[in-house]
Amino acid sequence: MTTRIICASVLLVTTLGIAVDAGAQTSRRRSSIPSSSSSSSVRAELAATLLESGKYSDAAREYRSLLARDPRNANYRMGLARALAWGGSYWEAERELTLLATQRPNDPEVEKLQRLVRPNLEPSSYEAREWVRESPYYTPYRAALARALAREHRYSAAIAMYDTLMRTAPSASLLREMGNAYSAANERRGGITRLSEFVARAPADTGYRLALIDLLVEDRQYAAALAQSDTILSYSRTPGVLLNRAKINIARDDLGAAEQDLLEGLKLKQTPEAYLLLGDVYRWRGEYGRARSAYDYARTMSAGRAVTEAFAQLARDERSVLTFEPPSAAEYGWQSNASFDGDNAGVNYSTVDFRRGFTFGPALVSAGVQVRQLREATPTARGAAGSYAPEIGVSREGIRGPFYWRLGAIGGFVAQPLAQTIPTGSIAFTGRYFAWSGALNLSYAPAYPSLRTLA
């Protein structure tokens, strides 16, 4: 009896010991496996550390991983928005902030970050209008809407928005943008009248007058632009205004006055832009040595692309090969030309042409007509044949460092009452590198200017 009780007791104690040991091992195994919440908190700490240390792309990657696990976590999304914004990915940051604004409406931190991000964006007018709806009295959002309307060529709406801004938060920069909108809408006269009203209200504001000057120059009212510049200079003779007046004098082909303004401005403050423009003045007058000296001064202050372009243009002008290059397909303004050619065989060829060139976006377009006559008075033949040749041309040129290129095309036809109507066309390309030049010209036209016979 006693033996059975002892055996039973030993068995019970052994069983309990095994159970306790198994429970302890299970507890140890559970504690060795990290929980999901503890893993996310560790990763969140890592993302915050990366953000603070300036490793924005790594921080964004960590926050994206955290959001994949918990899409509704506003703190993770705020961290991602900050990483994207501080890393320069402004559109991605804007998308995250838009989502965050729905989760945390009227949150000052979200609004503050939005106002840091949005000045770096070029929104559509729809997007900018949404910004204005969110903050109706925040001036930068209204300015963004005005610029978006101008980019979309909705100039009337843009001008109206600029007008509202000038009444509530006037500034010289906004007035200049308003003038640009008037110019783009081909309403320069109306823009000059409106900008003059703002100048009359604040006559001592030089920024307002400079905005008006820009519009006057674009409308080729050079005398009025000079008068405004003289008014500003009567307050204070500053290098910037003298440089601006030099540009006006260049536009009106008064290179002597432009030189005086530039030299006076350089005495007050030396800038690469002023030296480059002074070098251009000397180069246009054929004073290549003085031009090179001015460009050298500019190069000591700045070795940018503009300086390289100036030296390349100087090399081209000093060693001009324009005689062998095809003519430009278009020139600005009105042009007229007359020619007469004859030979001792009694054949005469004469032409009279008129054309007009104008800017169309970045290109130059021209349209014109040429009247031609071929006369022959020889022992075997006598007579005359007339014709007219309308045509339209377009050309485009550009400079990139030392490289210069020009591409032009002309199309039209020659109507000859005594013969068939012949289509005409040409395409010409010119490329230059410093003083080296190459050109290609392909054309299709009647041959009679070189074959001196009515036949």
Q: Are residues 378 and 342 in the same domain?
A: yes
Provide the pLDDT for residue 324. 64
Contact 281, 262 (CB under 8 A): yes
Q: Which amino acid is at 273?
A: E
Q: Are residues 344 and 415 in the same domain?
A: yes
Q: Which two tokens stand for residue 327?
A: 């003519």
**Number of residues assigned to the chain:** 455
On whether residue 279 sits in a domain, the answer given is yes
On whether residue 288 sits in a domain, the answer given is yes
Q: Is the pLDDT of residue 305 over 70?
A: yes
The last residue of a domain, from among 270, 292, 318: 318
Neighbours of 371 (CB within 10 A): 14
Q: Are residues 330 and 427 in the same domain?
A: yes
Residues 241-296 have pLDDT tens digits of: 999 999 999 999 999 999 999 999 999 999 999 999 999 999 999 999 999 999 99
Share of the chain above pLDDT 70, in %: 88
Q: Are residues 352 and 269 in the same domain?
A: no
Q: Which two tokens stand for residue 24?
A: 């302890």
Higher pLDDT pick, 75 / 453? 75
Measure the N-to-C terminal CA separation of the chain; round to a whole number of Å.
149
Task: Give buried/exposed letters for 21-41 (b at 16+ CB in 10 A, else e).
Answer: eeeeeeeeeeeeeeeeeeebe
Q: Are residues 333 and 260 in the same domain?
A: no
| Separation between Cα atoms, residue 210 and residue 199, nearest integer Å | 10
Q: Are residues 288 and 366 in the same domain?
A: no
User: What domain count does the chain have?
Assistant: 2
Q: Is the pLDDT of residue 175 over 90?
A: yes
On whether residue 399 sits in a domain, the answer given is yes
The last residue of a domain, from among 318, 334, 365: 318
Of the candidates 41, 42, 76, 129, the one whose C-alpha atom is nearest the C-alpha of residue 84 is 76
Of the candidates 97, 38, 86, 96, the one whose C-alpha atom is nearest the C-alpha of residue 59 is 86
Q: Return all residues near 296 (Cβ < 8 A) that are at least 6 apart.
A: none
Higher pLDDT pick, 400 / 429? 429
Q: How confident is the model at residue 449 (pLDDT cuts 50, 70, 90)?
A: low
The last residue of a domain, from among 318, 350, 368: 318
On whether residue 302 sits in a domain, the answer given is yes
Query: Which CATH number characterizes residue 310's domain?
Result: 1.25.40.10
Task: Give buried/exposed letters for 211-248 (b at 16+ CB in 10 A, else e).
Answer: bbbbbbbbbebbebbbebbeebbeeeeebbbbbbbbbb
Provide the pLDDT for residue 158. 96
Provide the residue range defining the domain that includes 283.
Answer: 237-318
On whether residue 99 sits in a domain, the answer given is no
Q: Are residues 356 and 337 in the same domain?
A: yes
Residue with tokens 């041309």: 393
On whether residue 449 sits in a domain, the answer given is no
Q: How confident is the model at residue 453 (pLDDT cuts 50, 70, 90)?
A: low
| Separation between Cα atoms, residue 108 and residue 121, nearest integer Å | 21
Of the candidates 332, 329, 312, the one whose C-alpha atom is nearest the C-alpha of residue 396 is 329
Can you give the chain as a three-state secondary structure string?
CHHHHHHHHHHHHHHHHHHHHHHHHHHHHHHHCCCHHHHHHHHHHHHHHHHHCCCHHHHHHHHHHHHHHCCCCHHHHHHHHHHHHHCCCHHHHHHHHHHHHHHCCCCHHHHHHHHHHHHHCCCCHHHHHHHHHHCCCCHHHHHHHHHHHHHCCCHHHHHHHHHHHHHHCCCHHHHHHHHHHHHHCCCHHHHHHHHHHHHHHCCCCHHHHHHHHHHHHHCCCHHHHHHHHHHHHHHCCCHHHHHHHHHHHHHCCCHHHHHHHHHHHHHHCCCHHHHHHHHHHHHHCCCHHHHHHHHHHHHHHCCCHHHHHHHHHHHHHHCCCHHHCCCCCCCCEEEEEEEEEECCCCEEEEEEEEEEEEEECCEEEEEEEEEEEEEEECCCCEEEEEEEEEEEEEEEEEEECCEEEEEEEEEEEEECCCCCCEEEEEEEEEEEECCEEEEEEEEECCCCCCCCCCC
Q: Are residues 396 and 346 in the same domain?
A: yes
Q: Is the pLDDT of residue 443 over 60?
A: yes
Q: Are residues 313 and 343 in the same domain?
A: no
Q: How confident is the model at residue 9 (pLDDT cuts 50, 70, 90)?
A: very low
On whether residue 332 sits in a domain, the answer given is yes
pTM: 0.67
Q: Are residues 371 and 282 in the same domain?
A: no
